[in-house]
Amino acid sequence: MARAGRAPRPAGQVCERADAALVRAFDLLGKRWTGVLLGTLRGGPAGFRALARAIDGISDSMLSERLRELGEVGLVARTVGEGPPVSVTYALTDAGRALLPALEQLTRWAEEHLPAKG
């Protein structure tokens, strides 16, 4: 029986409700540069300039914003080294490293199913 105000679904066409955890994950990971930035940090801690050079096309302001967001949700840690000169490095936290297998699977999927641009 259909709910009031909704048309009945044709037989065999069932659509599951969106998973709330998946929605939260893609609210964060679906932002441009986020996954690429996390993947870039898989090699270990890096400074801001090194990250900017490693990620073609990202602006300094976008890199700063993404690093701040990832720090706020506990995926990236910011460490300020004593100076002079003062140095700042960024590294994946345990929670950030826990995403690496999923990012590696996405990379393999893209290599197989998404044609390279250019």
In a domain, residue 8? The reply is: no
Phi, psi values for residue 81, rounded to 5°: -90, 150
Residue 47's pLDDT is 97
Helix, strand, coil percentages (3-state) for the chain, rounded to 5, are 50, 10, 40
Whether cis (ω within 30° of 0) applies to the bond prior to 84 is yes
Summarised one tens digit per residue, pLDDT across range 58-102 is 999 999 999 999 999 999 999 999 888 889 999 999 999 999 999
Summarised one tens digit per residue, pLDDT across range 1-44 is 445 566 666 666 788 888 899 999 999 999 999 999 999 999 99
pLDDT band at 116 (very low <50, low <70, confident <90, very high): confident
Measure the CA–CA gap between 75 and 80, rounded to whole angstroms: 17
Burial grade of 69 (CB within 10 A; 0-12, 13-18, 19 or more):
middle
CB atoms under 10 Å from CB of 101, counted, come to 9
> Residue 97: which CATH number?
1.10.10.10
In a domain, residue 64? The reply is: yes
In a domain, residue 80? The reply is: yes
Number of structural domains (the chain) is 1
In a domain, residue 34? The reply is: no
